[in-house]
């Protein structure tokens, strides 16, 4: 495999930047760009040894750095690896990377270090996927959830469910394959209990998925409302600093301004939209159309209303956009005299929050309402969580298959068919954890039952 | 002094259950064939249980028959009690088993071989095997006769390097007191064939006169028997009984006190024994909490008083065996005629074989049966048939005949052996087949007889009868789809009594048959125009309808599986130069050299990402 290199400390400016080089030529690539003070070449060093020196780009020293050597297979990727830690900030780190790329390395694809670690047998599939999620984890809680899977909470949970099904399948198989042995016939009740309990466990995982995704992936959030109700002020309040131009002239925000903010546990990708009102201004028209499009895609809508004004036809438009969506009514400008028909809003929205963006009031209430709406309140990040669609699909297939088994059992289908449903569930759970569909059921038979002539 | 005896297309070493099918298939396909046995009186011998079939093994026998093999017919002719196992557990796992008169079976098989055109039967021990410069194989007998053959099938069973263990005593021996084949292993090792030691065992045979049947539970055969062979027209008759007995605490105590005298526990036996066929002392040690163990007493034939004690295999010393048997109720005065033993033998790591059962590296050399690491008469016969067919096809210069996992238990068995290998003697089980709702014993002919016909192992007459059966199934299916059943009080009463919803209006018959609670038979009174057809026609229609959802889904899985199965991996691929394969995958692929990507995907240690890499490589190479 080729030798790859990338900045492994993220693209933000920080104290120390690390460039990681991995692959069979990693040490030689590193030797071309790094000269140690002691004069020793990196390819002469054993694993876990570090040396201090200078990094060169176009034969000119660009930074002082520490090079750390890992020898295959004892590295993250399982390959020979050098990590060069420099401290000159992002620009210098980028130069170090460029130097490596000019000297025989190729740029790593996103997640390629992890992919190699997986391919080299350094981690199992669920672990690999967790790491991928850590790399792009967008908040502290996302990292906690990802780390949790890395520790194996999901792996453990799925393995538990799978084992209970394997035991059941093994007992059914032994009962079928050894009809002459004294193997207890499973009652419908026995089977039903195991299937139901596995199904419930899967259901818990499945039902936590959306909330888990909110925490891992963040949420597309659209802030909508009539012109000048204070959408941009709200966004700025949430983001903590000004980005949109805030004036009192209706229609200041002509396009969508995006911002990522962390609110409590959740990363919201906020889109401040152009105010919704009928307009002849072409530019503004485009803004309004894009608002509608954006709102359609958003998973969460913050519908802002002006407390000091009565509801009008444009607000009706807002109500329509919120239909069938996760929407929160945010009644702004509570610092002014109330004119709004709050009853109507209370009828239409499950969650209504009163704020004064100007006076920075009501943020805590808003945060709570968002968590409630997204189902992330009381989300236990230490429990197993499905990380991605692939895992979700496996669980869902297993779940459906158990459901079918229960139906079949109820309607009096023969056990051979039910056994096949259980096999399908086990197979999908094994796929989820990256285990090879093995002879696990057969092995269970021999460890559990005294069978044979 | 060596002398040249004769030249053949195919030579089969061994005339057990694998050798018989191999020799017959090869000769029937027109190859000039010879089969060697150390003792001709051991042809088709049953050195272990006097029965054929059982769960999943019954499936194998049916499949062998559907392809034109002999085992099913021989069993039908010589059975003395037949049972369909697992009735009520679903059609996929119905399995036929028959107690066999073992001497009659052996006689039948020997005579069948003797009568077979293109086939010579010879008593001889093969002591040397090598390839000559012209690419043919040269076999040498103990009496220094030299035979030449284009293809050779090794079906040596437990004869190859056989060694028997009974307590502290051990000696070189084949099964059932036969001479072992002691020299051939050396010749195989010289060709770098990866041999290893496996172990199996058999229980004692006792005299019927010494058993007190009055205290034992009798087991009778089925009321209406089904034959194994689709060609057998007469219904097999029950002529004998089996009995059920139980061990007790005293039995256990004798075993535990004498465990140190077992060659298994004292470490004398190096061979790996089968998990599914543990010796009785193994059962006691592994499952100490079990209070009693059930076992079966089976007749060895009609004109012998020998009885087989199924479940009581042992390698303890003779005196201990007698002692523990006599603790059992009904066996207090038992007289042992043949002592139980463990036998260790040489066999090959089947990963060295192709799915055709030819060696990967030795052109024209095939393996079958216990030699390939399997266990059981039926497993052996299935492989013998495939090896025989492929040896004959090779002689004719034709492509090998390979059954995939989706086609049959035979295909599953062979794929498991040559792809996953085996760490202990391999026994077929229904749970090994992921497509078992489709691979039933009742439809073995539908699945395989067209192949048998195409190969030339199924006669024109039989094929015509098969096609007629297919037509009848189709017609009946059409009829039940078109027939309307009207609402009547009797019908509603039946539906309610079976716990299924009564009708609002008349429905097509097919809708009622689909309901799991109702059988074809139940509906007969309401299906007034039902034609007179053989039971098997109704059975096929009923299963197809009741399991329709499952069958469709399994068929979809099969289609998915076959997508990878058609992507052939050329023999000459160098896995070491394919970028992106993990090291373990490289090593496994290089060793096993799978026939296609599907087979590769089933190798343990080859991951889904390795499969993606292989697919990318193949498309890059334009394959």
Kindly report the CA angle at B486 between B484 and B491, in degrees rounded to 5?
Answer: 120
Q: Looking at the structure, do residues A18 and A42 belong to the same domain, yes or no?
A: yes
Average pLDDT of span A323-341: 85
CATH number for position B209:
2.40.30.260
Model confidence pLDDT, tens digit, residues B377-432? 999 999 999 999 999 999 999 999 999 999 999 999 999 999 999 989 999 999 89
Which of A70, A103, A122 delimits the end of a domain?
A: A122
**Residue A166: closest C-alpha in chain B:** B431
Point out which residues pair with A102 in neighbouring strands. none
Model confidence pLDDT, tens digit, residues A23-38? 989 999 999 999 998 8
**Is there a domain that residue A358 lies in?**
yes
Q: Looking at the structure, do residues B590 and B525 belong to the same domain, yes or no?
A: no
**Is there a domain that residue A380 lies in?**
no
**Is there a domain that residue B236 lies in?**
yes
Residues of B in contact with A180 (CB under 8 A): 85, 294, 296
Kindly write down the DSSP assignment for every residue of B106-121, as one continuous string: HHHHHHHHHH-TTEEE
Residues of B in contact with A413 (CB under 8 A): 90, 516, 546
Number of domains in chain B: 4
Average pLDDT of span B551-564: 86
Model confidence pLDDT, tens digit, residues B580-608? 787 888 989 999 999 999 999 888 878 76
Residue A320 has pLDDT above 90, yes or no: no
Instruction: State the pLDDT confidence band at A444, using cuts at 50, 70 and 90.
Output: low
Q: Looking at the structure, do residues B176 and B286 belong to the same domain, yes or no?
A: no
Which of B320, B344, B368 delimits the end of a domain?
A: B344
Q: How remote is the C-alpha of A222 from its chain's centroid?
A: 20
Which of B276, B434, B583 is the closest to A452 by Cβ? Answer: B276
CB contacts < 8 A (A, B): 112
Of the residues B49, B89, B289, the best mutation for testing chain A's interface (the one with the most A CB atoms within 10 Å of its CB) is: B89
Average pLDDT of span B313-335: 96
Backbone angles phi, psi at A139, to 5 degrees: -155, 170
**Is there a domain that residue B34 lies in?**
yes
Instruction: State the pLDDT confidence band at A334, using cuts at 50, 70 and 90.
Output: confident
Q: Looking at the structure, do residues A399 and A435 belong to the same domain, yes or no?
A: yes
Q: Looking at the structure, do residues A44 and A111 belong to the same domain, yes or no?
A: yes
Model confidence pLDDT, tens digit, residues B334-384? 999 999 999 999 999 999 999 999 999 999 999 999 999 999 999 999 999
Residues of B in contact with A118 (CB under 8 A): 609
Model confidence pLDDT, tens digit, residues B122-153? 999 999 999 999 999 999 999 999 999 999 99
Model confidence pLDDT, tens digit, residues A236-277? 777 764 444 444 445 545 455 567 777 766 777 777 666 656
Model confidence pLDDT, tens digit, residues A149-183? 655 788 889 989 999 999 999 888 888 888 877 77
**Is there a domain that residue A273 lies in?**
yes
Which has the higher per-residue pLDDT, B29 or B282?
Answer: B29
Locate tokens 């060295």: which residue?
B352
HEC string of chain A equals: CCCEEEECCCCCCCCCEEEEEECCCHHHHHHHHEEECCCCCHHHCCCCEEEEEEEEECCEEEEEEEEEEECCCCCCCCCCEEEEEECCHHHHHHHHHHHHHHCCCEECCCCHHHHHHHHCCCCCHHHHHHHHHHHCCCCHHHHHHHHHHHCCHHHHHHHHHHHHHHHHHHHHHHHHHCCCCCCCCCCHHHHHHHHHHHHHHHHHHHHHHHHHHHHHHCEEEEEEECCCCCHHHHHHHHHCCCCCCCCCCCCCCCCCEEEEEEECCEEEEEEECCCCCCCCCHHHHHHHHHHHHHHHHCCEEEEEEECCCCCCHHHHHHHHHHCCCCEEEEEECCCCCCCCCHHHHHHHCCEEEECECCCCECHHHHHHHHHHHHCCCCCCCCCCCCCCHHHHHHHHHHHHHHHHHHHHHHCCCCHHHHHHHHHHHHHHHHHHCCCCCCCHHHHHHHHHCCCCC
CATH number for position A346:
3.40.50.300
Which of B437, B580, B583 is the closest to A417 by Cβ? Answer: B437
Q: Looking at the structure, do residues A90 and A207 belong to the same domain, yes or no?
A: no
pLDDT at A452: 46
Residue range(s) defining the domain that contains residue B480:
469-552
Number of domains in chain A: 3
Model confidence pLDDT, tens digit, residues B237-269? 999 999 999 999 999 999 999 999 988 777 777
Q: Looking at the structure, do residues A276 and A183 belong to the same domain, yes or no?
A: no
Q: Looking at the structure, do residues B17 and B140 belong to the same domain, yes or no?
A: yes
Q: Looking at the structure, do residues B33 and B163 belong to the same domain, yes or no?
A: yes
CATH number for position A21:
3.30.1360.120
Model confidence pLDDT, tens digit, residues B76-95? 999 999 999 998 889 999 99
pLDDT at A254: 46
Average pLDDT of span A282-290: 63
**Is there a domain that residue A141 lies in?**
no
Q: Looking at the structure, do residues A240 and A291 belong to the same domain, yes or no?
A: yes
Average pLDDT of span B504-532: 93
**Is there a domain that residue B561 lies in?**
no
**Do A122 and A47 meet the contact criterion of CB atoms below 8 Å apart?**
no
**Is there a domain that residue A383 lies in?**
no
Residue B58 has pLDDT above 90, yes or no: yes
Average pLDDT of span B16-27: 98
**Is there a domain that residue A411 lies in?**
yes
Which of B344, B376, B392 delimits the end of a domain?
A: B344
**Is there a domain that residue B410 lies in?**
yes
Kindly write down the DSSP assignment for every residue of B338-350, as one continuous string: E--EEEEEEEE-G
pLDDT at A257: 59
Residue A326 has pLDDT above 80, yes or no: yes
Q: Looking at the structure, do residues A192 and A278 belong to the same domain, yes or no?
A: no
pLDDT at A245: 43
Residue A441 has pLDDT above 60, yes or no: no
- Kindly report the length of chain B: 623
Residues of B in contact with A181 (CB under 8 A): 294
Which of A121, A180, A452 is the closest to B277 by Cβ? Answer: A452
- Chain A interface includes B450 (CB < 8 A): no
Q: What is the DSSP letter of B596?
A: B
Q: Looking at the structure, do residues B390 and B314 belong to the same domain, yes or no?
A: no
Q: Looking at the structure, do residues B516 and B434 belong to the same domain, yes or no?
A: no
CATH number for position B527:
1.10.10.1800
Structure tokens at A118: 């997986």
Residue B294 has pLDDT above 60, yes or no: yes
User: Looking at A42-56, A203-217, B352-366, which range is the least confident one?
Assistant: A203-217
Residues of A in contact with B420 (CB under 8 A): 439
**Is there a domain that residue B145 lies in?**
yes
**Is there a domain that residue B558 lies in?**
no
- Chain A interface includes B283 (CB < 8 A): yes
Model confidence pLDDT, tens digit, residues B450-462? 999 999 999 999 9
Instruction: State the pLDDT confidence band at B617, using cuts at 50, 70 and 90.
Output: confident
Q: Looking at the structure, do residues B336 and B448 belong to the same domain, yes or no?
A: no
pLDDT at A144: 61
**Residue A442: closest C-alpha in chain B:** B431
- Chain A interface includes B487 (CB < 8 A): no
**Is there a domain that residue A166 lies in?**
yes
Nearest CA of chain B to the CA of A273: how many Å?
43
**Is there a domain that residue A299 lies in?**
yes
Q: Looking at the structure, do residues A346 and A262 belong to the same domain, yes or no?
A: yes
**Residue A409: closest C-alpha in chain B:** B516
Average pLDDT over chain A reads 79
Cis before B430? omega within 30: no
Residue range(s) defining the domain that contains residue A191:
150-211+388-448
Model confidence pLDDT, tens digit, residues B184-202? 999 999 999 999 999 999 9
What is the pTM for the complete model shown? Answer: 0.78
Residue A106 has pLDDT above 70, yes or no: yes
Which of B427, B455, B483 delimits the end of a domain?
A: B455
**Is there a domain that residue B263 lies in?**
yes
Q: Looking at the structure, do residues B7 and B113 belong to the same domain, yes or no?
A: yes
Structure tokens at B420: 């996953």
pLDDT at A288: 64
Helix (H) or strand (E) holding B249: helix B249-257
pLDDT at A225: 87
Which of A342, A374, A406 delimits the end of a domain?
A: A374
């Amino acid at each position: 495999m080729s030798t790859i290199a990338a900045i492994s400390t993220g693209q933000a400016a920080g104290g120390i930047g690390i460039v990681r080089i991995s692959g069979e030529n990693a040490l030689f690539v590193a030797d071309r760009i790094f000269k140690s003070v002691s004069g020793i070449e990196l390819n002469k060093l054993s694993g876990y040894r570090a040396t201090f020196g200078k990094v060169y780009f176009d034969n000119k020293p660009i930074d002082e750095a520490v090079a750390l050597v890992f020898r295959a297979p004892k590295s993250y990727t399982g390959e020979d690896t050098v990590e060069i830690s420099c401290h000159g900030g992002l620009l210098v780190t980028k130069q170090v990377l460029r130097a490596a790329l000019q000297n025989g390395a190729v740029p790593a694809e996103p997640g390629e270090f992890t992919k190699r670690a997986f391919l080299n047998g350094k981690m199992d599939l669920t672990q690999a996927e967790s790491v991928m999620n850590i790399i792009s984890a967008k908040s502290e809680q996302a990292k906690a959830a990802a780390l949790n899977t890395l520790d194996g909470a999901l792996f453990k949970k799925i393995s538990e469910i799978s084992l209970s099904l394997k035991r059941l399948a093994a007992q059914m198989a032994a009962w079928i394959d050894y009809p002459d042995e004294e193997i207890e016939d499973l009652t419908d009740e026995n089977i039903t209990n195991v299937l139901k309990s596995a199904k419930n466990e899967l259901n818990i995982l499945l039902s936590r998925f959306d909330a888990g995704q909110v925490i891992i992936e963040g949420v597309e959030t659209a802030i909508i409302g009539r012109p000048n109700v204070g959408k941009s002020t709200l966004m700025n309040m949430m983001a903590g600093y000004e980005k949109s131009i805030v004036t009192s002239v209706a229609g200041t925000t002509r396009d969508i301004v995006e911002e990522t903010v962390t609110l409590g546990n959740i990363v919201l990708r906020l889109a401040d939209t152009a105010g919704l009102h009928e307009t002849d201004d072409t530019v503004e028209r485009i803004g309004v159309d894009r608002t509608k499009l954006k709102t359609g895609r958003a998973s969460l809508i913050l519908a802002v209303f002006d407390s000091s004004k009565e509801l009008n036809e444009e607000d009706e438009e807002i109500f329509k956009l919120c239909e069938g969506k996760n929407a929160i009514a945010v009644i702004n400008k509570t610092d002014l005299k109330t004119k709004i028909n709050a009853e109507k809003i209370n009828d239409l929205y499950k969650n209504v929050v009163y704020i004064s963006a100007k006076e920075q009031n009501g943020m805590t209430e808003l945060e709570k309402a968002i968590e409630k709406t997204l189902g992330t309140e009381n989300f236990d990040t230490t429990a197993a969580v499905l990380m991605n669609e692939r895992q979700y699909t496996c669980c869902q297939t297993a779940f459906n298959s158990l459901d079918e088994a229960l139906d079949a059992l109820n309607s009096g289908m023969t056990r051979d068919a039910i056994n096949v449903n259980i096999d399908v569930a086990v197979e999908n759970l094994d796929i989820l954890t990256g285990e090879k569909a093995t002879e696990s059921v057969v092995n269970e038979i021999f460890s559990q039952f005294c069978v044979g002539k | 002094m060596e002398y040249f005896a004769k030249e053949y297309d195919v030579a089969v070493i061994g005339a057990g259950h694998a050798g018989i099918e191999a020799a017959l298939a090869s000769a029937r396909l027109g190859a000039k064939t010879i089969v060697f046995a150390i003792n001709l009186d051991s042809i088709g011998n049953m050195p272990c249980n006097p029965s054929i079939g059982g769960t999943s093994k019954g499936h194998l026998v049916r499949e062998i028959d559907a392809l034109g093999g002999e085992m099913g017919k021989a069993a039908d002719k010589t059975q003395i009690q037949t049972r369909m196992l697992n009735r009520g557990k679903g059609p996929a796992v119905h399995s036929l088993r028959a107690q066999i008169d073992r001497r009659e079976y052996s006689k039948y098989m020997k005579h069948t071989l003797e009568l077979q055109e293109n086939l010579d039967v010879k008593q001889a021990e093969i002591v040397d095997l090598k390839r000559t410069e012209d690419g043919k194989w040269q076999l040498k007998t103990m009496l220094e006769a030299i035979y030449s053959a284009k293809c050779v099938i090794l079906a040596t069973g437990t004869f190859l390097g056989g060694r028997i263990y009974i307590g502290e005593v051990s000696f070189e021996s084949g099964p059932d007191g036969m001479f072992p084949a002691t020299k051939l292993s050396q010749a195989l090792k010289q060709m770098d064939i990866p041999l290893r030691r496996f172990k199996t065992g058999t229980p004692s045979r006792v005299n019927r006169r010494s058993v007190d049947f009055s205290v034992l539970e009798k087991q009778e055969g089925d009321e209406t028997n089904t034959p194994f062979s689709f060609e057998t027209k007469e219904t097999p008759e029950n002529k004998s009984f089996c009995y059920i007995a139980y061990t007790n605490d005293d039995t256990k105590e004798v075993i535990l006190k004498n465990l140190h005298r077992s060659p298994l526990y004292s470490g004398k036996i190096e061979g790996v024994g089968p998990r599914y066929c543990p010796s009785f002392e193994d059962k006691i040690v592994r499952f100490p909490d079990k209070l009693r163990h059930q076992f079966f007493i089976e007749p060895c034939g009609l004109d012998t008083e020998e009885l087989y004690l199924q479940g009581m295999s042992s390698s303890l010393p003779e005196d201990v065996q007698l002692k523990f048997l006599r603790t059992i109720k009904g066996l207090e005065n038992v007289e042992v005629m043949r002592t139980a033993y463990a036998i260790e033998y040489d066999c090959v790591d089947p990963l060295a074989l192709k799915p055709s059962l030819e060696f990967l590296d030795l052109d024209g050399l095939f393996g079958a049966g216990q030699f390939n690491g399997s266990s059981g008469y039926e497993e052996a016969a299935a492989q013998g048939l495939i090896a025989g067919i492929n040896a004959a096809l090779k002689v004719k210069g034709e492509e090998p005949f390979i059954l995939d996992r989706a086609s049959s238990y035979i295909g599953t068995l062979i794929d498991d052996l040559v792809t996953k290998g085996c760490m202990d003697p391999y026994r077929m089980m229904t749970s090994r087949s992921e497509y078992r709702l489709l691979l039933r014993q009742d439809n073995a002919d539908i699945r395989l007889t067209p192949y048998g016909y195409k190969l030339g192992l199924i006669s024109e007459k039989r094929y015509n009868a098969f096609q007629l059966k297919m037509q009848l199934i189709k017609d009946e299916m059409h009829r039940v789809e078109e027939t309307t059943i009207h609402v009547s009080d009797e019908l509603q009463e039946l539906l309610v009594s079976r716990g299924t919803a009564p009708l609002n209006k008349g429905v097509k018959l097919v809708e009622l048959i689909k309901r799991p609670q109702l059988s074809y038979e139940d509906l007969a009174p309401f299906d007034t125009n039902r034609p007179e057809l053989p039971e098997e026609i109704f059975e096929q229609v009923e299963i197809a309808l009741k399991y329709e959802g499952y069958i469709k889904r399994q068929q979809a899985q099969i289609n998915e599986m076959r997508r990878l199965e058609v992507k052939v991996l050329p023999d000459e691929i160098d896995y070491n130069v394919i970028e992106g394969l993990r090291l373990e995958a490289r090593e496994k692929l290089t060793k096993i050299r799978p026939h296609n990507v599907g087979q590769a995907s089933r190798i343990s240690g080859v991951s889904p990402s390795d499969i993606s890499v292989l697919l990318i490589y193949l498309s890059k190479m334009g394959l």
